[in-house]
Amino acid sequence: MYLNCMKHLVKEEQYQKTKAIVVKFGEPGGTGELLQKKLLERSEKTYNWVYDYWLEDMYLNQRLALPVNSNPAMVFPKQNFKDRKDSLRFAAHLITGVLEYKERIDTRVLPVDFARGQLAGTPLCMKQYYRLFNTYRLPGHKRDTLIIHKPGSTEQEHIIVACKNQFFVLDLVVNKKKLKEMDILTQLEKIVKMAENSEERQPPFGLLTSDGRTEWAQAREVLIKDSVNRESLAVIEKCLCVLCLDNPSGMEVGDTSRALLMLHGGGHEKMGANRWYDKPMQFIVGEDGVCGTVCEHSPFEGIVLVACTEYLMKFMTGSPSKMGRATSVSELPTPARLLWKTTPHIQDLLKASAERLQRLVRDLDMDVHKFEVYGKEFIKKQKMSPDAYIQVALQLAFYRCNGRLVSTYESASIRRFHEGRVDNIRSATSEALAFVKAMTDEKASLSVSHFSYLVPQILGYSHYTVHHAITGLGIDNHLLGLREIAQELKMERPEIFTDETYVASNQFILSTSQVPTTVEMFCCYGPVVPNGYGCCYNPQSDHLLFSVTSFHGSTETCSAVFIKALDEGLVEMRDLCRKSNKPQSSAALAASKAVVNNQGAGSKLPSTLQKTGK
């Protein structure tokens, strides 16, 4: 399957070299067999043989800065606050919702999720929910650590409030009594006042968390030499979540600018230092109504984040704010401002982090686009999987922008397994290439014959999704497992993993993910390679929402151009479906039936698609 995934994405000469390497790797008694045996032994001893390998490879070993490169953001609907106090009321209500949700987690009353869409009905692993509020990503020189606090720990009874780049401790339990919403509001008001006091202002230490992971680990080592810094870090590292009270950014408020503010805060001159990027749950409430959350990704996936934030949004709109004074805790101590000891060296580190964040901010090219011509209901009416259809449209857009296809990542949930996170659906298939070529090179003669390319492609694609990726038989996790077990055995890295094709197979120039929501909000994230696109999509009944990111620094990418190609391609695909809905589509239907029949026995996707006689 690996060879089939890569054949059309590398040069023929390179492919032949890779093929020889793969054949040798798979020989009876060869390296592959030994590693597979070891991997099977590992699977006997662990709940999930890939989880630790995957977590390190995907997140903890990565050295790039968290904002843009790793942390996804969820953008809430724009709020219309009358004034600062109104925004604080919203924040207090939001935190009350967080506490209610956390209570549900701690008392284990969250209902088990069941799969929807393809293979609906299977129960899903809930572990990720139990890591929403009690985790922290600690920077390390070579590898970060995901710290997991005991659920319900009394050490975790505070949140951190960031305001004007200052950090405050908001204790949620005072004299053994939980704070009510009114109390939280009172404390937030105090914090805002304290943040305004310029005499007590501390340097913007949050900037350090926006830096590369090794740079931040090195800076942290300098910081912790002083006990004041050590204590401040310890308090932050144990908090439930961070609440960032943002000043108005001064930017025109649109979908794209709101998404940018969530992802990187607009840099150190805007809200970029009013953050603590290591903390998995970080809520942002801007005075100008720009609200959302930016998350450290290693403990959970976007789907779990959606479940949590949708609960909060429903809580905010469905349960009235409880501001009655009578029930509040009478004596509320003043929230503590976190103090930092600085030195000229630390000042230099802060300056360097600020500059690097600024570079990232300048480089990010973002476009949030609502495609309103049709949505997933139209696609379902064509008897196609909306997800597969959108993936094909993304391939078409990429081909039209770049004249080639590239390794593509689509996250496929494997929560059907204990501790399951994701595997990869490699949507840049050879069938996709045939389709996009036909749609582009023979555009003038767009005809029903193109449909016979489209249908098997989409069916084959959703077949791969169902029979391989979401059922734990994808190739990416398997190859990762073989590679890592070789390392554990201290073997020389097998040639299959040093080969140029393997390197290319892991350069995800197109990194995509479906994050659907049932309330008005959307998810976004950055590209994972310098010359790539990040594309998060949210299919709704009558429209499709896309958040596309790339870097201005690359001459190969441009988010607006990609969006335009995507828009045009989606319209052409609809026209194709409409044409094919007429009687002459029988040829295509015959082709698609052949695919289904061939694939029913669990045969491998690419070879069976070749049997359709396209």
List the catalytic residues.
Answer: 297
Q: Select from 186, 298, 505, 513 the one that contacts ligand COA (CB under 6 A).
A: 513
Nearer residue to ligand COA within complex by CB, 386 or 526: 386
116 binds ligand COA (CB under 6 A): yes
267 phi-psi bin (left φ>0, alpha ψ -120 to 50, beta other): left
Which of the stretches 135-143, 296-304, 347-355, 578-586 binds ligand COA when contact is defined by CB under 6 A? 296-304
- Whether the Cβ atoms of residue 283 and residue 46 lie closer than 8 Å to each other: no
Stretch that binds ligand COA, among 22-30, 383-391, 392-400, 565-573 (CB under 6 A): 383-391
In angstroms, give the least distance from the CB of 504 to ligand COA. Answer: 23
Nearest to 221, CA basis, from 212, 229, 210, 211: 229
Nearer to ligand COA, 385 or 557 (CB): 385
Token pair 């309103």 in the structure block, residue = 372
* Binding of residue 573 to ligand COA (CB under 6 A): no
Determine how many CB atoms are found less than 10 A away from the CB of residue 212: 17
Residue closer to ligand COA, measured from CB, 255 or 387 = 387
Q: Does 593 contact ligand COA by CB under 6 A?
A: no
Q: How far is the CB of 165 from ligand COA (least distance, A)?
A: 29
C-alpha distances (whole Å) from 395 to each of 199, 221, 408, 440, 463 are 55, 45, 9, 11, 18
Q: Is 117 in the site for ligand COA (CB under 6 A)?
A: yes
Minimum gap (Å) between residue 594 Cβ and ligand COA? 16
- Using CB under 6 A, which of 48, 166, 186, 514 touches ligand COA? 514
Our CB check for ligand COA shows the closer of 177 and 578 to be: 578
Q: CA 464, CA 332: separation in Å to the nearest integer? A: 57
CB of 612 to ligand COA, least distance (A): 17
Find the binder of ligand COA among 74, 172, 346, 422 (CB under 6 A): 422
Contacting ligand COA within 431-490 (CB under 6 A): 462, 465, 470
* Class of residue 492 by CB neighbours under 10 A (exposed 0-12, middle 13-18, buried 19+): exposed
Specify the residue, 353 or 517, whose C-beta has the smaller distance to ligand COA. Answer: 517
Query: Residue 484 has which token pair?
Result: 């890592």
Residues with Cβ within 8 Å of residue 225, at least 6 apart in sequence: none
Instruction: Report the C-alpha gap between 100 and 104 in whole angstroms.
Output: 6
Phi-psi region of 338 (alpha: psi -120 to 50; beta: other; left: phi over 0): beta
- Number of residues interacting with ligand COA: please give it, by CB under 6 A: 23
Written as one letter, the residue type at 30 is G
Q: How many CB atoms lie within 10 A of CB 118?
A: 17
Which window, 77-85, 182-190, 438-446, 513-521, contacts ligand COA (CB under 6 A)? 513-521
Residue number, 71 or 87, with CB nearest to ligand COA: 71
Q: Work out whether strand 291-294 and strand 282-286 pair parallel, antiparallel, or are unpaired.
A: antiparallel
Collapsing DSSP to helix, strand or coil, 93 comes out as helix
Positions touching ligand COA (CB under 6 A) are 116-118, 301-303, 380, 383-388, 411-413, 422, 462, 465, 470, 513-515
